[in-house]
Structure 1
Amino acid sequence: MLFHVRMNVHLPKDMPTAQADEIKAKEKAYFQKLQQDKVWRHIWRITGQYSNISIFDVESNQALHDLLQGLPLYPYMTLDIMPLNRHPSSIYDDDR
Protein backbone atom coordinates (compact mmCIF):
# COMPACT_ATOMS: atom_id res chain seq x y z
CA MET A 1 0.00 0.00 0.00
CA LEU A 2 1.27 3.43 -0.88
CA PHE A 3 0.91 6.38 1.47
CA HIS A 4 1.65 10.08 1.04
CA VAL A 5 2.83 11.47 4.39
CA ARG A 6 3.55 15.09 5.20
CA MET A 7 5.78 15.42 8.25
CA ASN A 8 6.08 18.73 10.06
CA VAL A 9 8.79 18.78 12.74
CA HIS A 10 8.53 21.08 15.77
CA LEU A 11 11.55 20.70 18.03
CA PRO A 12 11.24 22.68 21.26
CA LYS A 13 13.13 25.97 21.06
CA ASP A 14 14.76 25.25 24.40
CA MET A 15 16.00 21.79 23.41
CA PRO A 16 19.80 21.66 23.80
CA THR A 17 21.62 21.55 20.47
CA ALA A 18 23.48 18.35 21.39
CA GLN A 19 20.19 16.59 22.16
CA ALA A 20 18.62 17.78 18.90
CA ASP A 21 21.69 16.67 16.93
CA GLU A 22 21.59 13.23 18.55
CA ILE A 23 17.90 12.76 17.69
CA LYS A 24 18.50 13.91 14.10
CA ALA A 25 21.41 11.48 13.68
CA LYS A 26 19.23 8.58 14.90
CA GLU A 27 16.44 9.72 12.58
CA LYS A 28 18.80 9.77 9.60
CA ALA A 29 20.07 6.24 10.31
CA TYR A 30 16.50 4.91 10.71
CA PHE A 31 15.38 6.70 7.54
CA GLN A 32 18.29 5.40 5.47
CA LYS A 33 17.62 1.82 6.62
CA LEU A 34 13.97 2.16 5.56
CA GLN A 35 15.13 3.49 2.17
CA GLN A 36 17.43 0.51 1.73
CA ASP A 37 14.52 -1.78 2.62
CA LYS A 38 12.46 0.01 -0.11
CA VAL A 39 9.79 0.97 2.41
CA TRP A 40 10.47 4.74 2.44
CA ARG A 41 10.23 5.18 -1.32
CA HIS A 42 10.60 8.95 -1.75
CA ILE A 43 11.23 12.06 0.32
CA TRP A 44 11.11 15.72 -0.65
CA ARG A 45 11.92 18.70 1.55
CA ILE A 46 9.36 21.50 1.60
CA THR A 47 11.20 24.72 0.85
CA GLY A 48 11.56 27.05 3.81
CA GLN A 49 10.05 24.66 6.34
CA TYR A 50 11.23 21.89 8.65
CA SER A 51 8.83 19.59 6.80
CA ASN A 52 8.86 16.91 4.13
CA ILE A 53 6.59 14.96 1.85
CA SER A 54 7.32 11.25 1.80
CA ILE A 55 5.95 8.20 0.01
CA PHE A 56 5.85 4.92 1.92
CA ASP A 57 5.20 1.46 0.52
CA VAL A 58 4.01 -0.77 3.37
CA GLU A 59 1.69 -3.74 3.77
CA SER A 60 -0.96 -2.14 5.96
CA ASN A 61 -2.16 0.87 7.90
CA GLN A 62 -0.77 -0.75 11.03
CA ALA A 63 2.65 -1.24 9.41
CA LEU A 64 2.78 2.48 8.57
CA HIS A 65 1.61 3.40 12.06
CA ASP A 66 4.35 1.27 13.66
CA LEU A 67 7.02 2.63 11.30
CA LEU A 68 6.07 6.25 12.00
CA GLN A 69 5.99 5.73 15.75
CA GLY A 70 9.52 4.33 15.50
CA LEU A 71 10.86 7.62 14.12
CA PRO A 72 13.09 9.32 16.71
CA LEU A 73 11.51 12.67 15.75
CA TYR A 74 7.96 11.27 16.01
CA PRO A 75 7.23 12.93 19.39
CA TYR A 76 7.97 16.30 17.76
CA MET A 77 5.94 15.80 14.56
CA THR A 78 2.52 16.51 13.22
CA LEU A 79 1.56 14.20 10.38
CA ASP A 80 -0.90 14.36 7.50
CA ILE A 81 -1.41 10.92 5.93
CA MET A 82 -3.18 10.07 2.70
CA PRO A 83 -3.56 6.50 1.42
CA LEU A 84 -2.94 6.37 -2.33
CA ASN A 85 -4.75 4.31 -4.95
CA ARG A 86 -3.73 3.73 -8.50
CA HIS A 87 -5.46 6.09 -10.92
CA PRO A 88 -7.31 4.29 -13.72
CA SER A 89 -5.88 6.67 -16.34
CA SER A 90 -2.25 5.99 -15.41
CA ILE A 91 -0.18 4.64 -18.31
CA TYR A 92 2.13 2.71 -15.94
CA ASP A 93 1.56 -0.90 -14.96
CA ASP A 94 3.62 -0.78 -11.76
CA ASP A 95 3.80 2.10 -9.30
CA ARG A 96 6.78 0.75 -7.39
Structure 2
Amino acid sequence: MLFHVRMDVSLPHGMSEAEAEVLKRVEREKAQALQAEGKWRHLWRIVGQYSNVSVFDVENAEELHQLLTGLPLFPYMTIQVMPLCRHPSSIHADDR
Protein backbone atom coordinates (compact mmCIF):
# COMPACT_ATOMS: atom_id res chain seq x y z
CA MET A 1 0.00 0.00 0.00
CA LEU A 2 1.36 3.41 -0.96
CA PHE A 3 1.27 6.45 1.33
CA HIS A 4 2.21 10.06 0.64
CA VAL A 5 3.82 11.45 3.80
CA ARG A 6 4.85 15.02 4.52
CA MET A 7 7.26 15.49 7.42
CA ASP A 8 8.02 18.92 8.88
CA VAL A 9 10.89 18.95 11.37
CA SER A 10 11.31 21.49 14.17
CA LEU A 11 14.26 20.86 16.45
CA PRO A 12 14.16 22.59 19.86
CA HIS A 13 16.05 25.89 20.01
CA GLY A 14 17.96 24.68 23.06
CA MET A 15 19.30 21.53 21.38
CA SER A 16 23.06 21.65 21.00
CA GLU A 17 24.56 21.51 17.52
CA ALA A 18 26.46 18.34 18.45
CA GLU A 19 23.27 16.61 19.64
CA ALA A 20 21.41 17.72 16.50
CA GLU A 21 24.18 16.38 14.24
CA VAL A 22 24.13 12.97 15.93
CA LEU A 23 20.33 12.83 15.65
CA LYS A 24 20.46 13.79 11.94
CA ARG A 25 23.13 11.17 11.23
CA VAL A 26 21.12 8.39 12.88
CA GLU A 27 17.98 9.58 11.05
CA ARG A 28 19.84 9.52 7.71
CA GLU A 29 21.09 5.97 8.35
CA LYS A 30 17.55 4.80 9.23
CA ALA A 31 16.02 6.52 6.18
CA GLN A 32 18.62 5.03 3.85
CA ALA A 33 18.09 1.54 5.30
CA LEU A 34 14.31 1.83 4.75
CA GLN A 35 14.97 3.00 1.19
CA ALA A 36 17.25 0.03 0.57
CA GLU A 37 14.46 -2.27 1.83
CA GLY A 38 12.03 -0.67 -0.64
CA LYS A 39 9.71 0.61 2.08
CA TRP A 40 10.66 4.30 1.68
CA ARG A 41 10.20 4.57 -2.10
CA HIS A 42 10.73 8.30 -2.66
CA LEU A 43 12.23 11.09 -0.57
CA TRP A 44 12.00 14.70 -1.73
CA ARG A 45 13.14 17.83 0.10
CA ILE A 46 10.78 20.81 0.11
CA VAL A 47 12.82 23.82 -0.97
CA GLY A 48 13.47 26.38 1.74
CA GLN A 49 12.01 24.30 4.56
CA TYR A 50 13.21 21.62 6.96
CA SER A 51 10.55 19.35 5.44
CA ASN A 52 10.19 16.48 3.02
CA VAL A 53 7.58 14.71 0.97
CA SER A 54 7.94 10.96 0.78
CA VAL A 55 6.22 7.91 -0.64
CA PHE A 56 6.18 4.78 1.49
CA ASP A 57 5.30 1.30 0.21
CA VAL A 58 4.18 -0.78 3.19
CA GLU A 59 1.65 -3.50 3.99
CA ASN A 60 -0.80 -1.28 5.87
CA ALA A 61 -1.29 1.83 8.02
CA GLU A 62 -0.04 0.05 11.13
CA GLU A 63 3.31 -0.76 9.50
CA LEU A 64 3.64 2.86 8.37
CA HIS A 65 2.83 4.05 11.90
CA GLN A 66 5.54 1.78 13.34
CA LEU A 67 8.11 3.01 10.80
CA LEU A 68 7.31 6.68 11.37
CA THR A 69 7.25 6.48 15.17
CA GLY A 70 10.58 4.62 15.05
CA LEU A 71 12.35 7.47 13.26
CA PRO A 72 14.89 9.27 15.48
CA LEU A 73 13.47 12.69 14.51
CA PHE A 74 9.85 11.60 15.14
CA PRO A 75 9.49 13.54 18.42
CA TYR A 76 10.32 16.74 16.51
CA MET A 77 8.07 16.15 13.48
CA THR A 78 4.65 17.23 12.37
CA ILE A 79 3.46 14.52 9.96
CA GLN A 80 0.64 14.43 7.42
CA VAL A 81 -0.28 11.08 5.84
CA MET A 82 -2.42 10.42 2.75
CA PRO A 83 -3.11 6.90 1.45
CA LEU A 84 -2.70 6.58 -2.32
CA CYS A 85 -4.30 4.42 -4.97
CA ARG A 86 -3.90 4.20 -8.72
CA HIS A 87 -5.74 6.80 -10.76
CA PRO A 88 -7.79 5.29 -13.59
CA SER A 89 -6.42 7.88 -16.06
CA SER A 90 -2.77 7.03 -15.36
CA ILE A 91 -0.91 5.89 -18.47
CA HIS A 92 1.65 3.94 -16.43
CA ALA A 93 1.20 0.25 -15.67
CA ASP A 94 3.43 0.47 -12.58
CA ASP A 95 3.94 2.80 -9.62
CA ARG A 96 6.83 4.88 -10.94
Category of TM-score, reference length = shorter chain: over 0.9
Report the 3-state secondary structure (helix = DSSP H, G, I; strand = E; otherwise coil) of the residue aligned with 2:68.
Answer: helix
In the TM superposition, residue 33 of structure 1 has moved relative to its aligned partner by 0.3
Counterpart AA for 2:75: P
Write out the 4+ residue segments of structure 1 that deviate beyond 3 Å after TM superposition: none
**In structure 1, what is the equivalent of residue 65 of structure 2?**
65
Matches of residues 46-85 of structure 1 in structure 2 within 5 Å? 46-85=46-85
Residue matched to 1:35: 35
Aligned to 1:2: 2
Task: Work out the number of aligned pairs and report it.
Answer: 96
Identical aligned pairs, as a percentage? 60
Q: CA deviation at 1:43?
A: 0.8
The CA distance in 1 between the partners of 2:20 and 2:26, in whole Å, is 10
TM-score by length of 2: 0.97
Q: Which residue of 1 aligns with 2:88?
A: 88
CA distance in 2, matches of 1:61, 1:32: 21
Moved more, 72-81 or 86-95: 86-95
CA RMSD of aligned residues (A): 0.8
Consecutive unaligned residues in structure 1, runs of 5 or more:
none
Indicate yes or no: 2:45 matched with 1:45. Answer: yes
Equivalent AA in structure 2 for residue 79 of structure 1: I
Give the superposition deviation at 1:30: 0.2
Please report the TM-score for the alignment, with normalisation by the length of structure 1.
Answer: 0.97
Query: Counterpart amino acid of 1:51?
Result: S
Distance across 2 between alignment mates of 1:55 and 1:70: 17
TM-superposed CA distance for 1:79, in Å, is: 0.3
TM-superposed CA distance for 1:37, in Å, is 0.4
Partner of 1:15: 15
